[in-house]
Structure 1
């Protein structure tokens, strides 16, 4: 599997999850948006990185005491301590926010390691502290109890489901103000290129709509005259 290139990473930073969703839909991929995962703090720059995953199953009480965290190979701790810089750590928390996937100390460790962001379909504890750490973080809602109360961390870097979206290790994760979408790794370059082109036209169309232009023939671009105007607009703006 090829690593995410710097050029593709930078393209993805400038496009929206909505535009990517349309590109994926055209390829028959309809369930790539992680449902319920919203940004913990206002989003200034999009989160982009390859997925490292943590899988949970329902907790079994005799195996899930606090002493499990003494083991450095515990999957949650192993993932946090070994997540490579530039990756996005994605937790399959079974869509249950009642038990936290991580707290401020663990997320702080991810930031120190240069991780690009963290996503869960559950919740975080210490959410107010995480919100000021300066690392992109997406979750369902605040959560206080330790994940041990409901979830048992079972594996790292395996295929998971997060918010009903399939996430394979190495898939590209894009997060913006709307939420998080999963781009299959082998499609990342072509999706980034296509979405960049779509974004340019959408910016043009939005500008014309703001000027009072009708949608007919403009969006979608069924009138050739609009495409000619777009080409001139794009050249003028260096897009």
Structure 2
């Protein structure tokens, strides 16, 4: 099921925290990718469908430098095959000692129209990647090549990334807090619910900023809260 443009647009206005609440209500507790961080504090919000790359522990006789000359090498092929608008998500075994990729490969993803990139390992050339203005998330900077410890082995299969399950086509949302994975079959309903939750939370924030207490407001146990919220939405056009 392809990501609908309206769902993509809604998700770009929603936080990972709000989506986490919507997922929690549906019984999903492990969808937030642990220990990944944006390379730049001002990079755009990341939204797109997951296209995955899986690494495994490198075996020295199969992971010599010459392997990168092969056009079918999984890392190189994934860079060229990841669809425009998708998010490349890498299972790097939660190990940042070896680089998942560097600035040249990430620049290629950007130029091909990919939405962003996520690894639970690390990127080399992290400062260069941060300057691209391209949504990128990793655990920490990593200079050595992935030949040191990791071997790219499979493309677009189910993976674990930062302890979160990621299936090809799942919807990825990344903001300044981190990255969350929305199962593809519920992406539309989660986006709609989170969009509505965001409107209410914006209303609540205005009320609290104006000095109001949270009892009866958040959560909305006072009937007047919803009356005031409806009036607020009409004024705000939301």
Mapped contact 2:44–2:133 kept (Cα < 8 A): no
Q: Distance in 1 between matches of 2:57 and 2:214?
A: 49
3-state DSSP of counterpart to 2:52: strand
Alignment of structure 1 residues 71-220 onto 2, 5 Å: 71-220=70-219
Match of 1:66 in 2: 65
- Post-superposition offset of 1:46: 1.1
Tell me the TM-score normalised to structure 1 length. 0.98
Is the 1:47–1:117 contact (alpha carbons within 8 Å) kept by the matching residues of 2? yes
- Supply the distance in 2 between the matched residues of 1:133 and 1:233 (Cα, whole angstroms): 39
| Whole-angstrom CA distance in 1 between matches of 2:65 and 2:186 | 41
CA distance in 2: counterparts of 1:217 and 1:71, whole angstroms: 63
Gaps of 5+ in 1: none
SS at match of 1:55: strand
Whole-Å separation in 1 of the counterparts to 2:115 and 2:58: 29
Match of 2:11 in 1: 12
Query: Are residues 44 and 64 of structure 1, via their aligned partners in 2, closer, same or farther at CA, if it must alter by over 3 Å?
Result: closer
Tell me the residue number matched to 2:22: 23
TM-score by length of 2: 0.99
**Matched residue SS, 1:54:** strand
Q: SS state of the match for residue 225, structure 2?
A: helix
- How far apart in 1 are the matches of 2:230 and 2:200? 9
Shift of 1:43: 3.3
Aligned-partner SS, 1:148: helix
**Unmatched tracts of structure 2, length 5 or more:** none
Q: 1:43 and 1:37 mapped to 2: Cα distance?
A: 16
SS in structure 2 of the partner of residue 101 of structure 1? strand
- Tell me by how many angstroms 1:211 deviates: 1.0
